């Protein structure tokens, strides 16, 4: 049943017709409503009137007076209203009714159950709709908060990246900071799997290889190499990344550099596309993307598609 409502007209009339059928005497009707928690100041005038003149009221008049009184008192009689409904819909022992009233009582109780179920169905549907709206609103609020948080994080990383261009006197520090900033961007876009790490020999602890970052783009693992070099990227700079890439099954690769790529590197990367997906990205493209507040994942996807479909390892997107 619905938690709270005033009796609608059709239900009120049906209760007035039903309760007297369930009670053999006028006193039984009073007892029925008293047991449901009806206020004594609503019942006492009826009791006094019956004592003064038992024929002045019939069972139906008593039922109507009490039910309309409960309905009129609003929230203060919510509990008795609910209990009256409960007692009617749960009524089972029709042998307590007058024999000639038993079939009518069964039909009346059945009709009350039907109306209550219909009302409750609409109430439940409304509650479900309200819950769906509340959940959608909460989800939208969470999404907005996450978007604002990501935008703030990306803005801070953009400023950190721009600051690196003033660190010509600290090339090693700048190179490490570049890894932190770019991995921070990958984290903000939800694709970072692992920041820079070293793989060591289990016996000697010797560093076997160092990987600047690992991301998952559209379900595929990508090893990311990040370089800040004075000169264009040459084969000596590029080859170690290829070795790491071919040393892992089904991994793809991304090489990000602040400087241009030499023709031998472009050729070697194009040849590698026969076996693995590998593409190149300039730091300038990422700088322009951040200035325009564009989507980093869209940029990476365009480059990956160009590498796979057109065998073009270095598509300038921005």
Q: Are residues 120 and 249 in the same domain?
A: no
DSSP state of 280: E
Q: Are residues 295 and 211 in the same domain?
A: yes
Q: Residue 33's pLDDT is what?
A: 96
Q: What's the CA dihedral at 10, 127, 36, 71 to 10 degrees?
A: -50
- Looking up residue 304, the CATH number of its domain turns out to be 3.40.1350.10
- The answer to whether position 136 is within a domain reads no
What Cα–Cα distance (Å) separates residue 19 from each residue in 60, 82, 134, 242?
8, 14, 40, 87
Least confident of 88-102, 117-131, 136-150: 117-131
Q: Are residues 177 and 99 in the same domain?
A: no
Q: Are residues 22 and 87 in the same domain?
A: yes
- The answer to whether position 109 is within a domain reads yes
Last residue of a domain, one of 95, 126, 157: 126
- The answer to whether position 243 is within a domain reads yes
What is the pTM assigned to this prediction? 0.59
Q: Are residues 122 and 171 in the same domain?
A: no
Question: CA neighbours within 13 Å on the CB side: how many for 132?
Answer: 6
| 238, 269 contact by CB (below 8 A) | yes
Residue 36's nearest CA partner among 6, 74, 80 is 80
Q: Is the pLDDT of residue 155 over 90?
A: yes
Q: Residue 2's pLDDT is what?
A: 42
Q: Are residues 176 and 121 in the same domain?
A: no
- Most confident of the ranges 123-127, 206-210, 298-302: 298-302
Q: Is the pLDDT of residue 4 over 50?
A: no
Among all chains, which residue has been given the structure tokens 């799997």? 193
pLDDT interval class at 56 (50, 70, 90): very high
Last residue of a domain, one of 98, 126, 154: 126
Q: Are residues 96 and 224 in the same domain?
A: no
- The answer to whether position 316 is within a domain reads no
Domain count, the chain: 2
> Mean of the per-residue pLDDT values for the chain?
90
**Token pair for 302:** 């365009």
* Residue range 97-116: mean pLDDT, rounded: 93
pLDDT 10s digits, 260-297: 999 999 999 999 999 999 999 999 999 999 999 999 99
Among all chains, which residue has been given the structure tokens 């693995």? 276
- The answer to whether position 141 is within a domain reads no
- The answer to whether position 182 is within a domain reads yes
Sign of the alpha-carbon torsion through 243, 278, 252, 317: positive
- The answer to whether position 2 is within a domain reads no
Q: Is the pLDDT of residue 255 over 90?
A: yes
Q: Are residues 99 and 202 in the same domain?
A: no
* Residue range 19-25: mean pLDDT, rounded: 96
pLDDT interval class at 3 (50, 70, 90): very low
pLDDT 10s digits, 177-229: 999 999 999 999 999 888 877 777 777 777 778 889 999 999 999 999 999 99
Q: Is the pLDDT of residue 173 over 50?
A: yes
Domain that holds residue 227: 167-309
Share of the chain above pLDDT 70, in %: 96
């Amino acid at each position: 049943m619905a938690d709270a409502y005033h009796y609608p007209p059709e239900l009120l009339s049906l209760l007035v017709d039903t309760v007297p059928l369930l009670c053999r005497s006028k006193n039984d009707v009073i007892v029925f409503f008293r047991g449901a928690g009806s206020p004594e100041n609503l019942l006492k005038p009826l009791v006094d009137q019956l004592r003064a003149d038992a024929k002045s009221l019939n069972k139906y008049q008593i039922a109507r007076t009490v039910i309309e009184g409960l309905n009129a008192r609003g929230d203060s009689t919510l509990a008795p209203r609910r209990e009256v409904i409960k007692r009617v819909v749960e009524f089972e022992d029709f042998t307590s009714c007058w024999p000639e009233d038993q079939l009518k009582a069964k039909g009346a109780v059945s009709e009350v159950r039907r109306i209550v179920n219909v009302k409750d169905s609409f109430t439940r549907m409304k509650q479900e709709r309200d819950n769906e709206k509340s959940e959608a609103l909460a989800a939208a609020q969470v999404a907005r908060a996450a978007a604002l948080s990501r935008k703030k994080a990306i803005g801070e990383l953009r400023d950190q990246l721009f600051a690196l261009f003033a660190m010509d006197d600290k090339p090693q520090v700048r190179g490490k900071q570049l890894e932190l900033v770019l991995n921070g961007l990958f984290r903000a876009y939800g694709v970072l799997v692992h920041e820079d790490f070293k793989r060591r020999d289990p016996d000697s602890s010797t560093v076997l290889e160092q990987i600047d970052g690992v991301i998952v783009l559209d379900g595929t693992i990508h090893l990311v190499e990040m370089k800040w070099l004075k000169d264009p990227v040459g084969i000596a700079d590029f080859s170690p990344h290829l070795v790491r890439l071919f040393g892992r099954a089904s991994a793809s690769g991304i090489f990000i550099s602040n400087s241009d790529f030499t023709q031998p590197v472009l050729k070697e990367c194009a040849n590698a596309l026969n076996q693995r997906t590998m593409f190149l990205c300039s730091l300038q493209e990422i700088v322009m993307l951040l200035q325009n507040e564009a989507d980093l994942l869209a940029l990476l996807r365009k480059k990956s598609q160009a590498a796979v479909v057109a065998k073009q390892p270095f598509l300038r997107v921005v």
